[in-house]
């Protein structure tokens, strides 16, 4: 993390509010540093090594703190020894890795305690001759007197590595929340000063009554919807009351719009789009192509060569001409990290063609890759953070206009420090990041779903590079995909209560005050649109203003 000036620290203390109990916060500030390039030398350890600094690191710079371990039965020895870990702490872990005898390998960090093994707390694609940064973390289910961190080659083969600049930093859950709140207050909010002046003389009006109300939010927070919303007024009212963004669950997918070859039907998606337009909701386009053959129209599976090329060209032209400028995003190649149906049939440049054509058809839409198991876990070798970054860079090298990172977010038990570490690494690309399909597995009870959902949403909203969050909670009377927010009467379930609580927490609501002797009134507001009403004597006036992201105080003058 960059050096924080003293005035920013004071602001930090002032903004923490109910999360801050003592006059001075003496806990660690989360270090969002991340690196995706392979470096000649390792950087210094984050947090000075944290709890590892006195146990494993000798004096000197990062170059002098290199271990040259070897692998026995695919595990790095000697392991890092950890003492007296608790289940109440959140542990952020990082290290720099260099291969000694192989050109490239996926290295996975693992924690083993007396009771269980956490198979993946972070991964990195390491290379020979340069240093790669692994960042992750873990939360224990039980306290541990003695634990170990070791490294494994994800493909199961023995390999020799060097390890440097290891760091393990514990945060209490309160400290973690304080760090989240700091980011929210500095990235999702902004200082505002309202100046009230007399319309005739221009003098400032001390004592003017000011009422400010947020009327829309800058941050897109929404959910999937299905055709079940059509004609369902209770569902529509419930949805519009909460969300400013939507995505169609299945209704835009190729198998839904062209079940039979040449028989294209957008009737349902047109009706859903009309609902979206009517209620001033932004919508994501999901999706143009789904790489999983299981969800490819059956008639397409039999096509090859020029016939398949003609079909995909027709799909893009038809979909994009039907909905040009209607959707803010398009998921172009859905789940490309896991499946490659079109590249197998049409060649490795098929994906380049999809993105290029989609951009030419709708140049103002943000084009996304979208995949699962990127933030949910690091144990899926197909969708590690480095695998995602590698695919993005491949697209960029080929001149592809791809500028959105879609992370589905289908969680069972989320790992907060791993989520944050992966977001940190993806943020180095400078592209907008969206959590696109967030839910919690139905294998858990409703209370657990609600608790874990809150963890995930707080991680997303408090990361400055996350530009929007979509839940995958489209309503179906016979049960949602994994997690419902309401019952069939649109009364909130436990997860719905969590959503409402956070929506209330993440908005400014109504703010009232009186202009000071300079005719001014200041407050911190969440980003978005505001309505302001001013009363002075028997005079009243109203206006609106926008609050967008910025470091400077937003000054707004209103005359009466």
Cβ distance 500 to 515 under 8 Å?
no
The helix or strand, by DSSP H or E, that contains position 200, with its residue range, turns out to be none
- Pairing of β 117-127 and β 554-559: unpaired
Per-residue CA distances from 501 to 148, 222, 262, 444, 494 (Å): 38, 14, 47, 21, 11
Catalytic residue among 437, 454, 455, 459: 437
Q: At 133, which helix (H) or strand (E)?
A: strand 132-138
Q: Which of 112, 258, 335, 459 is catalytic?
A: 335
Query: Which parts of 412-527 are beta strand (E)?
Result: 433-440, 466-471, 510-514, 520-526
The answer to whether the Cα torsion of 328, 495, 18, 211 is positive or negative is positive
DSSP string for 401-442: ---EEEE--EESS--HHHHHHHHHHHHTT---EEEEEEEE-T
Token output for 5: 């000036």
Distance, CA of 211 to CA of 282 (rounded, Å): 28
* Angle at CA of residue 536, ends 530 and 540, nearest 5°: 55
Question: Can you tell me the distance from the alpha carbon of 253 to that of 285, in angstroms, rounded to the nearest whole number?
Answer: 9
Query: Is 249 marked active-site?
Result: no
Instruction: Name the 3-class secondary structure at 494.
Output: helix
Cis check for the bond before 440: say yes or no (omega within 30 of 0).
no
CA–CA gap between residue 491 and residue 485 (Å, rounded): 8
Which token pair is 85? 């870990």
| Sign of the alpha-carbon torsion through 412, 415, 419, 425 | negative
DSSP for residue 95: E
Of 186, 251, 141, residue with least CA distance to 30: 186
> With the CA atoms of 318, 319, 325 and 331 taken in that order, what torsion angle do they form, in degrees rounded to the nearest 10?
-150
494 an active-site residue?
A: no
CA distances to 114, 300, 351, 495 from 82, in Å: 12, 54, 45, 36
- Known catalytic residues are 335, 437
């Amino acid at each position: 993390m960059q050096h924080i000036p003293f005035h920013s620290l004071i602001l930090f203390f002032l903004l923490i509010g109910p999360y801050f109990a003592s006059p001075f916060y003496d806990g660690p500030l989360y270090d969002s540093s991340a690196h995706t390039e392979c470096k000649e030398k390792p950087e210094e350890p984050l947090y000075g090594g944290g709890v590892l600094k006195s146990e494993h690191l000798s004096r000197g710079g990062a170059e002098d703190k290199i271990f040259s371990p070897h692998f026995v039965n695919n595990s790095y020895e000697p392991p890092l020894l950890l003492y007296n870990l608790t289940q109440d702490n959140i542990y952020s872990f990082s290290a720099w890795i260099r291969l000694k005898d192989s050109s490239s390998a996926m290295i996975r960090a693992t924690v083993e305690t007396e009771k269980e093994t956490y198979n993946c707390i972070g991964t990195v694609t390491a290379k020979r001759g340069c240093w790669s940064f692994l960042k992750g973390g873990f939360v224990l289910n039980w306290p541990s007197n003695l634990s170990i961190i070791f490294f494994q080659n994800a493909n199961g083969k023995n390999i020799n590595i060097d390890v440097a600049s290891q760091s393990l930093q514990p945060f209490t859950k309160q400290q973690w929340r304080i760090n989240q709140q700091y980011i929210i207050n500095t990235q999702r909010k902004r200082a505002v000063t309202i100046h009230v002046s007399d319309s005739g003389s221009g003098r400032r009006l001390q004592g003017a009554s000011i009422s400010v109300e947020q009327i829309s939010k800058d941050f897109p927070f929404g959910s999937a919807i299905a055709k079940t919303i059509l004609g369902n007024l209770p569902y529509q009212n419930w949805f519009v009351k909460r969300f400013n963004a939507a995505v169609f669950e299945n209704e835009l997918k190729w198998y839904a719009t062209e079940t039979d070859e040449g028989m294209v039907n957008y009737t349902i998606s047109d009706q859903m789009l009309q609902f979206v337009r009517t209620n001033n909701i932004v919508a994501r386009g999901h999706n143009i192509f789904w790489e999983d053959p299981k969800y490819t129209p059956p008639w397409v599976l039999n096509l090859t060569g020029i016939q398949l090329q003609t079909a995909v060209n027709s799909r893009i032209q038809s979909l994009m001409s039907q909905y040009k400028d209607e959707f803010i995003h398009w998921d172009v190649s859905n789940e490309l990290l896991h499946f490659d149906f079109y590249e197998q049939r049409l060649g490795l440049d098929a994906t380049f063609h999809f993105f290029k054509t989609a951009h030419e058809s709708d140049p103002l839409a943000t084009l996304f890759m979208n995949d699962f198991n990127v933030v949910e876990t690091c144990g899926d070798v197909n969708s590690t953070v480095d695998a995602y970054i590698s695919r993005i860079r491949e697209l960029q090298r080929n001149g592809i206009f791809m500028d959105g990172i879609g992370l589905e977010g289908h969680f069972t038990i989320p790992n907060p420090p791993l989520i944050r570490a992966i977001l940190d690494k993806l943020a180095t690309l400078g592209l907008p990041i969206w959590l696109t399909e967030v839910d919690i597995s139905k294998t858990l009870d409703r209370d657990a779903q609600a608790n874990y959902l809150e963890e995930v949403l707080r991680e997303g909203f408090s990361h400055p590079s996350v530009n929007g969050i979509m839940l995958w909670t489209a309503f179906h009377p016979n049960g949602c995909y994994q997690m419902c927010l309401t019952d069939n009467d649109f009364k909130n379930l436990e997860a719905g209560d969590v959503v409402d609580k956070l929506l209330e927490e993440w908005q400014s609501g109504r703010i009232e005050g009186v202009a000071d002797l300079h005719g001014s009134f200041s407050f911190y507001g969440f980003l978005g649109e505001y309505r302001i009403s001013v009363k002075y004597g028997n005079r009243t006036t109203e206006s609106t203003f926008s609050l967008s992201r910025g470091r400077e105080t937003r000054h707004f003058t209103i005359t009466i």
